[in-house]
Amino acid sequence: MSNNSSFDISTIKKGPLLFVMILGAFIAVLNQTIMSVAMPELMVDFDIAASTAQWLTTGYMLVNGVLIPITAFLMQRFTTRELFQSSMVIFLVGTIISAVASNFDILLTGRLIQAAGAGIIMPLLMNVVLTIFPPDKRGAAMGMVGFAIIFAPAIGPTLAGYVMEHYSWRTMFYGMIPFVIIVIAVAFIYLKNASERSYPKIDVWGVVLSTIGFGAVLYGFSSAGSKGWSSAEVVLSIVVGVVSLILFTWRQLVSKSPLLDLRAFKYNMFSLTTVINIVVTMVMYADMMLLPLYLQSARGYTAMESGLLMLPGALLMGFMMPITGKLFDRFGAKWLSIIGMAITILTTIGFVNLTDSTSYTYLVLMSTGRRFGMAMFLMPITTAGLNQLPARLNAHGTAISNTIKQVAGGIGTALLVTVMTTSTKSHFQDMVAAGGSAASSMEVMKMEATIQGINDAYLVIIGIGLVGLLLSFFIKRTGQAEEEATGVVVERKTVEEV
């Protein structure tokens, strides 16, 4: 296929193409979640503190956050096949290094290399969906993508918990190697190019500023939970990051070949759904962080028991993703988002009064309800915004969307940890002041204070969710926009949802 000539998208076999890429994305996303369960054993094996071990997840997130903004350029410079194959090979190299690591530094290096490969895959997959499917068919395709990115992290803790109970932590990496090799081999046979190459010039200053900006902001917020907001390191990181991002924004707006074309934000539905996605990502972290913390730290459940509790919701969520995708194609995102947000908020209310005797069955039902609600709006909101963008902005739109989610995840984690720790300290001091100083009662009070702190964090999640619910009422169903040479935005059609 010529790199410069146009090609007929209708000749692309969509099924094999999506299958290969979704399988690669599933493996990459699954890899993000498995390390948290292995932390205790790694701390013993390598004789490291928890703050050091945390870099296995923090460093992974940082590399992802730094690399994703560059994917817009990479998707225009290289073919789909070249970029996917390269990312999977990089991921394989990182997996092998992690599996044979003899010390923590080598293991961390392997994880960072893994992140470099994984960070490319999801934006590339979303861009392919936007390219090969018309707007009225994207919902179902994005639903299948959603199945991969939601189901993988949901079964990750359970799978990792089983492995850790019976085998070494290295088994998680060794077990992943053959699957990655299979994906690379199948991609070599079936994966075809799905977009034209435009050979844009690299914006060196854009790369530098985005790397410093997103890296510093993510590091600052991810460190705030453990080091505190008053830490000079945290404050300096956030300030440097924000200043760099301001300069990066200015650079992208004046550049003829921007690294990340921020002009995508002039499309109203893309801008609105991006804001809603920030809210949605923070709401998701209630399940991903607060519930396991409550189960393992306050209630004494094992990592595997914690993972099993969330598994029914994960299975339901994975099952619902393709269904909500088809509903989106037919009805649009507005009412799916409103209904899903309402269900999520109502079920989250069930977590604001947790105690040291809240039943396991109750937690399973509430958690499953939250996942059902989130399945209603996660992919429809993203797809609704990307559908409005003209074809030339597809790569930039997917990169912006994924970058925003990374940053929102870092901010959301820091916010919840801050609320929880501050509230826990306050409740504990109140309990001590009310009486009780025996060693046994002190332990009980610490546990009670922790539970109260988690309850307060869930209250904050409800408040954030209400913001998302209100914004959802402004979602409209829009057609794909076209941008004429004069720069005037023209939409093919606009149908406001009833």
State residue 438's pLDDT score.
56
Amino acid at position 496, single letter: E
User: In the structure, what pLDDT confidence band is assigned to residue 247 with cuts at 50, 70 and 90?
Assistant: very high
Higher pLDDT, 364 or 318: 364
Q: Tell me, what's the pLDDT at 225?
A: 64
Per-residue pLDDT for 297 more than 80?
Answer: no
CB 117 within 8 A of CB 87: yes
The total number of residues shown for the chain amounts to: 498
pLDDT above 80: residue 458: yes
Output the pLDDT for position 474.
Answer: 93
Element (H, E) at 400: helix 394-434
Q: What string of H, E and C letters represents the secondary structure of 43-108?
A: HHHHCCCHHHHCHHHHHHHHHHHHHHHHHHHHHHHCCHHHHHHHHHHHHHHHHHHHHHCCCHHHHH
- Angle at CA of residue 495, ends 493 and 496, nearest 5°: 145
How far apart are the C-alpha atoms of 95 and 90, rounded to whole Å? 9
* Residue 140 vs residue 106, higher pLDDT: 106
Predicted TM-score (pTM) of this structure: 0.77
| Region 394-412 average pLDDT | 81
Q: Is the pLDDT of residue 10 over 70?
A: no
pLDDT level of residue 440 (50, 70, 90 thresholds): low
More confident: 290 or 491: 290
Q: Given this model, what pLDDT does residue 441 score?
A: 74
**Is residue 488 over pLDDT 50?**
no
pLDDT tops 90 at residue 89: yes
Share of the chain above pLDDT 70, in %: 89
Residue 82 pLDDT exceeds 70: yes
161 — pLDDT class (breaks 50, 70, 90) = confident
Of 465, 431, 478, which is closest to residue 450 (Cα–Cα)? 431
Model confidence pLDDT, tens digit, residues 332-374:
889 999 999 999 999 999 999 888 889 999 999 998 999 899 8
Work out the mean pLDDT of the chain and round it to a whole number.
Answer: 81
What pLDDT, on the 0 to 100 scale, is given for residue 437?
57
Mode of pairing for the β-strands spanning 477-478 and 481-483: unpaired
Q: Name the nearest CA neighbour of 129 among 29, 30, 12.
A: 12
Q: Are 238 and 218 in contact (CB under 8 A)?
A: no
Nearest to 74 by CA among 303, 300, 425, 399: 399
In the predicted model, is pLDDT for residue 235 greater than 80? Answer: yes
| More confident site: 313 or 337 | 337
Q: Is 205 exposed, middle or buried (0-12, 13-18, 19+ CB in 10 A)?
A: middle
Burial class of residue 186 (count of CB atoms within 10 Å of its CB; 0-12, 13-18, 19+): middle
pLDDT score at 497: 39
Closest CA to 286 of 403, 417, 375: 417
The 10 Å CB-count burial string (b at 16+, else e) for 420-433 is: bbebbeebbeebee
Region 140-152: mean pLDDT is: 77
Of these ranges, 112-121, 235-244, 442-451, the one predicted with the greatest mean pLDDT is 235-244
* DSSP one-letter string for 118-172: HHHHHHHHHHHHHHHS-GGGHHHHHHHHHHHHHHHHHHHHHHHHHHHHHS-THHH
Rounded to whole angstroms, the Cα distance separating 420 from 451 reads: 9
Please state, for a pLDDT cut of 90, what percent of the chain lies above it: 19
Read off the pLDDT of each residue in 445-474 and give the average, rounded to a whole number.
90
pLDDT, tens digit, 9 for 90 and up, residues 173-186: 998 999 999 999 98
CA-CA distance, 259 to 487, in Å (whole number)?
19
Tokens of 469: 């619910």
